[in-house]
A and B are shown apart, each in its own frame.
Chain A
Amino acid sequence: MSDINTIIKPENLIYKRTDVLSDNDLSYCPGCGHGTVHKLIAEVIEEMGIQDTTIGIAPVGCSVLAYNYLEIDWQQAAHGRAPALATAVKRLMPEKNVFSYQGDGDLAAIGTAETIHACNRGENIVMIFINNGIYGMTGGQMAPTTLPGMAASTCPHGRDVSHDGEPIKISEILAQLPGTCYVTRQSVHTAANVRKSKKALRKAFENQQANKGTSLVEIVSNCNSGWKMTPIKSNEWMEENMFPYYPLGDIKNQ
């Protein structure tokens, strides 16, 4: 054990919590991908040196309180309206860095119009989209992205596509629009995927600084509470079930 104490010294530090994260404990369930994505955004903001020029737009959903966790200025939007807020913030202050953070219900159901039109106008913003296939905050109801056959509290016998339609692949739709410059789908369930997600987020913010248009980073994530699994099991289930429907990788990169 003496080995450890000689290693734990300031000069050997290689990974620590960034100061862009606040000291607040996250309200998310144990193992929830939201926390990992929050951390990556915070790290990108720190590394790019843009803490004093970044404005985040928080949604309605589990991440409604995202503003408690990153030490930047925030606005909290009505359900689905984050892209409209982000549009105005960026247009009125073009020199700032603006991102929205939204879940699947927020971005791909109630806010579909705001999402599509912000992307179509090519708003020079970053949209971060957490897709866990369920409404987490309200207790596990069916989302626009719930998989066929997947059970949720408002489709307890599984999503019946003849009744509810197929899950929407909103990122593929948004990639069709000329206003988007970068649409990518990532995950944060393994260390390698975390590193890729961070690169994607960094690229999205760099695109904004280069005035390239809308960058959308989708993170396929878990909802162990909503899926009624352990955190580790939910990550395995995500690999087996979510990734075939929502394949990871760049959908558009211009």
Chain B
Amino acid sequence: MAKAKGAIVVDTVRCKGCGVCTTVCPTKVIELAAEVNGKGYHYAYMANPDACIGCSNCGIICPDTCITVYRAKAGATA
């Protein structure tokens, strides 16, 4: 199993489920949840967390700025 290099935290309350983040993720980490949030949107979540490389593409494109991105320092053991 690949070791995750990055991780994201989605503000699922703020997320509008537009799905734009899913199109810019190079490792197909993100999907829209089957459940909906309080606004009725299928919010984004890490469906494939092990593949995250912490590139931050999802964070910078998110129109509602509801994704925070973390990346393990090179050499650090996760």
Contacts and interface: CB of A to CB of B under 8 A. Distances in A.
State if A and B touch, Cβ cutoff 8 Å.
yes
Interface of A: 1, 3-4, 6-9, 11-18, 21, 25-26, 28-36, 39, 188-191, 194-195, 198, 230-232, 235
Contacts of A18: 65
A198 B49 CA distance: 28
B70 A17 contact: no
B61 A188 contact: yes
B76 to A, nearest CB: 8
Interface residues of B, number: 40
B61 A30 contact: no
B63 A28 contact: yes
A191 B64 contact: no
Contacts of B20: 31, 189, 231-232, 235
B78 to A, nearest CB: 5
A31 B54 contact: no
Contacts of B61: 36, 188-191, 194
Contacts of B49: 1, 3-4
A31 to B, nearest CB: 3
A192 to B, nearest CB: 9
A30 B50 CA distance: 27
Contacts of A13: 68-70
Contacts of B62: 35-36, 39
Contacts, number: 115
Nearest to B54: A14
B78 A32 contact: no
B71 A17 contact: no
A3 B70 contact: no
A39 B70 contact: no
B37 to A, nearest CB: 12
**Closest 6 pairs (CB-CB, A-B):** A35-B63, A31-B18, A30-B16, A191-B57, A30-B18, A15-B69
B24 A191 contact: yes
A12 B14 contact: no
A240 to B, nearest CB: 15
B63 A4 contact: no
Most buried by A among B23, B63, B78: B63
Most buried by B among A13, A18, A30, A195: A30
B47 interface: no
B7 A8 contact: yes
B68 A12 contact: no
Nearest to B2: A3
A233 B34 CA distance: 20
A11 B50 CA distance: 20
15 contacts: A3-B7, A3-B50, A7-B6, A7-B71, A8-B9, A14-B56, A15-B69, A18-B65, A25-B64, A39-B62, A39-B63, A190-B24, A190-B61, A191-B55, A235-B23
A189 B22 CA distance: 12
Given A4-B46, A235-B23, A33 B72 contact: no
